[in-house]
């Protein structure tokens, strides 16, 4: 017998924005805060408590490195994927001006890339902005056509945060290397959702975030390849530095939390994916009875946890209001809610009116079947209600 429970409201379907910290991760983080625990500065080399804290950081470094097939010495801690993206682009281009002044990226990257590339244009670097195909992906041919002798860096994301579309990062890295450029990918949304292996995929720089995979906010990492050694100019200067690229006291509890979250992801991602795929299919099936629902997400080339849908004839903001018991994103998901249509949707050719009618639903480890069923009821009700209003 299956029992149905009423989910607590609002129903959280915004996992691509952030995930709750897994209780097992929170338990690990608690160990590194108070006076009776391992609170010491991992940079304190003069006493045992400092060495022990350093060991905690090094264990987490191994856990994060293992998740992407890297050597632990290639992991540089940051405050999140935003800082990792900034460090990759600014740090690499400034340190390697003699290599070339050209950067290739795309119009639908996360703002942490787009705004950083715009800042680099102001500094005199030349940026080529690739327009993706309708399915949100960049093909190797598109990239090849943009490559030049002075292209120093290519930055293309692994999984798009609004569409869920997946790029073939191994094929894109190959093209970048044919032209002697370094390849960076923002994998904040990709960890645990697609296979990542920096050696097999030949990735040079990879941005990671703690809070997209049931870890804490305010921590992330940049993978920086060591052979051949990639030089980056630091953005943050000071003591206790990581390979001369990043300074400041490391947040032991957050780093330990990110390590534990990545370890759990390695162990549980197959179960997570099966659970989420089941929920996504149930959700899509439940929407079949509703007319005028258009998937912006390329369903055959996307991660199952992100679903961007347009509701024809309905204003996304009004739908968001009517759906106040369902936590979802609209507009450009990273600045949700916004009255502007998402630049990502416009960037893949979604017409402006449809882009304004779109919402991003994203599911996660703690989403239940009851959450999905209840959300479907609320969506059907809200959509039919809004469609009966005089226009
Ligand atoms: N890149 C992508 C693809 C993202 O989805 C996000 C989070 N919205 C970020 C970068 C920024 O990550 P963080 O919050 O760790 O700075």
Give the range of the structural domain holding residue 146, as residue numbers without chain letter.
23-264
Query: In whole angstroms, how far apart are CA 318 and each of 26, 100, 323, 346, 357?
Result: 36, 48, 8, 20, 9
Q: What pLDDT sits at residue 9?
A: 81
**pLDDT for position 170:** 98
CB 391 within 8 A of CB 318: no
- Cα–Cα dist 341/354, whole Å: 9
Q: What are phi and psi of 261, to 5 degrees?
A: -65, -40
Pair 337, 382 in one domain: yes
Say yes or no: 275 and 189 in one domain: no
What CATH number does residue 376 fall under?
3.90.1150.10
Predicted confidence at residue 338, as pLDDT, reads 55
Distance between Cα 82 and ligand 1 center (Å): 6
Confidence at residue 331, expressed as pLDDT on a 0 to 100 scale: 63
Q: Is residue 122 part of a domain?
A: yes
Local mean pLDDT, 10-residue blocks, the chain (391 residues): 72 97 98 95 95 97 98 98 98 97 98 98 98 98 98 98 98 98 98 97 98 98 96 93 92 98 97 97 96 96 97 89 92 59 94 94 97 97 85 59
For residue 72, the Cα-to-chain-centroid distance in whole angstroms is: 21
| Cα diameter, the chain | 73
Q: Is 334 a catalytic residue?
A: yes
End-to-end CA distance of the chain: 45
Residues 121 and 196 in one domain: yes
Output the pLDDT for position 7.
Answer: 79
361 and 223 fall within a common domain: no
State the ipTM, two decimals: 0.99
> For position 390, what pLDDT does the model report?
63
Does 242 share its domain with 277?
A: no
Output the CA 152–ligand 1 centroid distance in Å.
23
pLDDT at 388: 81
| Residue 123's CATH number | 3.40.640.10
Domain boundary among 264, 282, 304: 264
pLDDT recorded at residue 267: 96
Provide the number of structural domains found in the chain: 2
Q: Are residues 53 and 160 in the same domain?
A: yes
Domain boundary among 214, 241, 264: 264
- Is residue 3, in this structure, part of any structural domain at all? no
Nearest atom in ligand 1 to the alpha carbon of residue 333 is 8
Q: Which residues line ligand 1 (CB under 6 A)?
A: 80-82, 110, 112, 157, 161, 186, 188-189, 209, 220, 334
What are φ and ψ of residue 266, in 5° steps? Answer: -60, -40
Whose alpha carbon is nearest atom 5 of ligand 1? 161
Q: Is residue 70 part of a domain?
A: yes
Residues 226 and 278 in one domain: no
Is there a domain that residue 1 lies in? no
288 and 139 both lie in a single domain: no
Count the helix, strand and coil residues of the chain and give each as a percent rounded to the nearest 5.
40, 15, 45
């Amino acid at each position: 017998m299956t029992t149905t429970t009423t989910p607590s409201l609002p129903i959280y379907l915004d996992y691509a924005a952030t995930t709750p910290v897994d209780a097992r991760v929170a338990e690990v983080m608690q160990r590194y805060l108070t006076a009776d625990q391992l609170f010491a500065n991992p940079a304190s080399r003069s006493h045992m408590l400092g060495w022990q804290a350093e060991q905690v950081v090094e264990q987490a470094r191994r856990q994060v490195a293992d998740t992407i097939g890297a050597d632990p010495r290639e992991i540089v801690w940051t405050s999140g994927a935003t800082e990792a993206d900034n460090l990759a682009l600014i740090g690499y281009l400034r340190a390697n001006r003699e290599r070339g002044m050209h950067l290739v990226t795309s119009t639908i990257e996360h703002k942490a890339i787009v705004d950083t590339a715009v800042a680099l244009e102001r500094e005199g670097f030349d940026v080529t902005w690739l327009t993706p195909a309708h399915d949100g992906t960049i093909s190797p041919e598109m990239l090849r056509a943009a490559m030049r002798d002075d292209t120093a860096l290519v930055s293309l994301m692994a999984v798009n945060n609004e569409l869920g579309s997946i790029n073939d990062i191994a094929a894109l890295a190959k093209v970048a290397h044919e032209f002697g450029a370094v390849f960076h990918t923002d994998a904040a949304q990709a960890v645990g959702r697609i296979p990542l292996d920096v050696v097999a995929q030949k990735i040079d720089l990879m941005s990671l975030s703690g809070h997209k995979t049931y870890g804490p906010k305010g921590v992330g990492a940049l993978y920086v390849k060591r052979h051949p050694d990639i030089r980056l100019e630091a953005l943050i200067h000071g003591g206790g530095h990581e390979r001369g690229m990043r300074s400041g006291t490391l947040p032991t509890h957050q780093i330990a939390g990110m390590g534990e979250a990545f370890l759990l992801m390695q162990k549980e991602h197959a179960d997570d994916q099966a659970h989420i795929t089941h929920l996504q299919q149930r959700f899509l099936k439940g929407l079949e009875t509703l007319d005028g629902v258009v998937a912006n997400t390329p369903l055959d080339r996307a991660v199952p946890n992100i679903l961007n849908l347009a509701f024809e004839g309905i204003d996304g903001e009004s739908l968001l209001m009517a759906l106040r018991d369902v936590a979802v994103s609209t507009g450009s998901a990273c600045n949700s809610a916004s009255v502007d249509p998402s630049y990502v949707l416009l960037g893949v050719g979604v017409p402006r009116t449809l882009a304004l009618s779109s919402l991003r639903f994203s599911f996660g480890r703690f989403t239940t079947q009851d959450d999905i069923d209840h959300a479907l009821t609320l969506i059907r009700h809200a959509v039919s209600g809004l469609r009966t209003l005089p226009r």
